[in-house]
Amino acid sequence: MKGIRVTGNGLADGKECKGSTMKYITTIDNHEFLVEIIDEHHIIMDGIPYEVDFESVGNQPVFSLIINGFSYEAYVAPENNEWQVLLHGRLYSAIVEDEREKRLKAAAGGRAIERGEFHLKAPMPGMVIAIPVEDGQNVQIGDVLVILESMKMQNELKAPKAGVVNRIKVNVGDSVEQNQTLLSVL
C-alpha cells in the first residue's frame, strides 16, 4: 500500500480482535478493498492492521485521518450512492458496502441491469437558450441536446449515449432549477 509505512505499533503486536467487528467492501476504480473496523482506533485493510485516528474537522465534511503516523485530510461527502473523496487535489469515487449484504446481493443475481433510458437533468439553475433537437429525433453520443445559460456562459448539454429524444419537458426561455429533468433519450 503506497504512502503508508506499517510501523511496529499497529495491531500486529498481540492484541486480539473482538468477534463483532464490521466488515466493509469498498470499491474504487474497480479495485476492492476489504476494510474491517476493529474499534475506534484500529482497522484491518486487506489483512494488514493499522492504527487510525479519524476526526471530522470543525464540524465540516472535512476529515482528518492519521494512520500509522501519516496525516491526511479529505473532503468526504455522499453523492447518489457513492462517496466522493477529494484527497490531495484528486477525486475518488468510492462505493462502500457491508460485506454481508454485498454477498447476499451477489447471491441474488448481482447488479440490476442498467436501464437504457437517460434523463437529462439541469446540472445547475439557468435559462434554456436553445433546444436543437426535437421529440423522436435520433441522436448520437456528443450531440447537443440543450443549451443552458448560467453564470454568463452558454453550456452545451450533450447526449452521453445514442438514442431517440423523448419527452422534452422544457421550452426555450424557461428558467430551470438544478436537477430538473429537461428531456429523455431512450
Partner 1 sequence: MFNKVLVANRGEIAVRIIRACRELGLQTVAVYSDVDRQALHVRYADEAYHIGPSPSRDSYLRGDKIIECAKKSGAGAIHPGYGFLAERADFAQACLDEGIVFIGPKPSSIAAMGDKAVARATVSRAGVPVVPGTEGEGALSDEELLASAASIGFPLLIKATAGGGGKGMREVHNLEEMPFLLKAARREAEAAFGDGNVYLEKMVDGARHIEFQILADAHGNVIHLGERECSLQRRHQKLLEETPSPFVADDQELRQKMGDVAVKAAQAVGYVNAGTIEFLVDKDKNFYFLEMNTRLQVEHPVTEMVTGVDIVKEQIRIARGRQLRYSQEDINQKGWAIECRINAEDPYNHFMPSTGIISHILTPTGPGVRVDTGVYSGFEVTPFYDSLISKLIVWGETRAEAILRMRRALEEYRILGVRTNIPFHQRLMDSHRFMAGQFDTKFIEERFSLETAEEGLPDRAPIAAVMSTLVAHRQTQLSAQFIQRNERDTSNWKWISRWERMQR
Q: Which residues are at the interface with partner 1 (CB under 8 A)?
A: 1-4, 7, 22, 24, 26, 28-29, 31, 33, 35, 37, 43, 45, 50, 52-55, 57-67, 69-76, 83, 85-92, 94, 96, 98, 123-126, 129-130, 149-155, 178
- Closest contact distance (angstroms) between CB of 3 and partner 1 is 6
Helix (H) or strand (E) holding 158: strand 153-158
- Amino acid at position 34, single letter: L
Q: What are the backbone angles phi and psi of residue 85, rounded to the nearest 5°?
A: -120, 110
Cell for 51?
A: 492504527
Residue 5 or 115 having the CB closest to partner 1: 5
Q: Smallest gap, in angstroms, from Cβ of residue 113 to partner 1?
A: 25
Q: Closer to partner 1 by CB, 79 or 114: give it.
A: 79
Q: Tell the smallest beta-carbon distance from residue 71 to partner 1 (Å).
A: 4
Cell of 148: 443552458
Pick from 49, 48, 25: nearest CA to 39 = 49
Residue carrying the nine cell digits 423523448: 166
Nearest CB to partner 1, comparing residues 67 and 131:
67
* CA atoms of 148 and 175, how far apart (whole Å): 9
